[in-house]
């Protein structure tokens, strides 16, 4: 086990793939939407979004929630009224947030490399033209990632007979269908801990920590972490040699 201080913090790039309060009635129209999101082509993305609207308009059951292209309010990528949705977005968008909580969070799946946006949220109350509002100053742009982001491996020094941990982590923007991290080892003494955490607005990190006590037979063995993203992409694992 030549392990090695220099290797202590080693980053390995790989790819993967595979498979893969009531803030609502605040008296004015405001929205808080992530401005730019890195999204993985063929996979999915979740756009965090919250909004407030004038107090007098609160028949929540009657709100029509819409996401549309900034360039044209009629080009709808999501609407409660399915017939209004652009053909190529039908079945690919879903509102995850509850409007009554002022939550307009949007999910898009099967992302195409030209789904860049910008996309803006709009509310329509069926009572008259004054009760409609497009948040065109708070839109989201997608930056396309043709390939999955690189998982990062970090590990402690491997010494025979001493506990060893190695962490594999990958950032993503689809908390509704999280990437899965797997290891090429499966001995009963291995302990795997999975941690999912929020990073900056719109970004998440999935982490898998593998812990075991290296034995002589582990000398020069390879440890491989594989990240599988929703949507089924080709896989290229990351590996380190002990």
Ligand X SMILES: *[C@@H]1O[C@H](CO)[C@@H](O)[C@H](O)[C@H]1NC(C)=O
**Residues near ligand X (CB under 6 A):** 50, 96-97, 103, 105
Asked if residue 49 lies in contact with residue 103, where contact means CB atoms within 8 angstroms, the answer is yes
Minimum distance from residue 95 beta carbon to ligand X (Å): 9
C-alpha 186/C-alpha 223 separation (Å) is: 11
- Least distance between ligand X and beta carbon 82 (Å): 20
**CB nearer ligand X, residue 51 or residue 212:** 51
**Which of 13, 201 has the CB closer to ligand X?**
201
Least spacing, CB of residue 101 vs ligand X, in Å: 6
Closest contact distance (angstroms) between CB of 97 and ligand X is: 4
SS3 state of residue 69: strand
- Spatial separation of the C-alpha atoms in residues 224 and 211, rounded to whole Å: 14
Paired tokens of 24: 């609502």
Spatial contact of 40 and 177, defined as CB atoms under 8 Å apart: no
CA angle 160, 162, 163 (to 5 degrees): 125
Q: How far is the CB of 65 from ligand X (least distance, A)?
A: 13
166: three-class secondary structure by DSSP: strand
């Amino acid at each position: 086990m030549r392990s090695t201080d220099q290797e202590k913090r080693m980053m390995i790039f790989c790819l993967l793939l595979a498979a893969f309060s009531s803030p609502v009635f605040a008296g004015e129209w405001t929205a808080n939407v992530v401005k730019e999101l890195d999204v993985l082509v063929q996979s999915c993305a979740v756009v965090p979004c919250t909004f407030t609207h004038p107090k007098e308009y609160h028949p929540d059951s009657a709100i029509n929630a819409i996401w549309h292209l900034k360039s044209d309010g009629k080009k709808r990528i999501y609407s409660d009224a399915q017939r209004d949705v652009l053909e190529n977005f039908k079945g690919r968008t879903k509102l995850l947030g509850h409007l009554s909580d002022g939550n307009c969070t949007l999910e898009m799946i099967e992302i195409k490399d030209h789904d860049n946006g910008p996309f803006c949220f709009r509310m329509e109350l069926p009572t008259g033209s004054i009760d409609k509002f497009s948040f065109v100053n708070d839109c989201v742009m997608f930056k396309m990632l043709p390939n999955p982001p690189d998982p990062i491996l970090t590990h402690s020094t491997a010494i025979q007979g001493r506990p060893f941990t190695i962490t594999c982590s990958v950032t993503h923007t689809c908390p509704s269908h999280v990437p899965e991290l797997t290891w090429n080892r499966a001995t009963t003494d291995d302990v795997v801990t999975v941690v999912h955490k929020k990073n900056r607005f719109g970004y998440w990190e999935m982490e898998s920590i593998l812990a075991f006590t290296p034995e002589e037979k582990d000398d020069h063995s390879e440890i491989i972490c594989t990240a599988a993203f929703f949507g089924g992409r080709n896989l290229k694992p990351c590996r380190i040699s002990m």
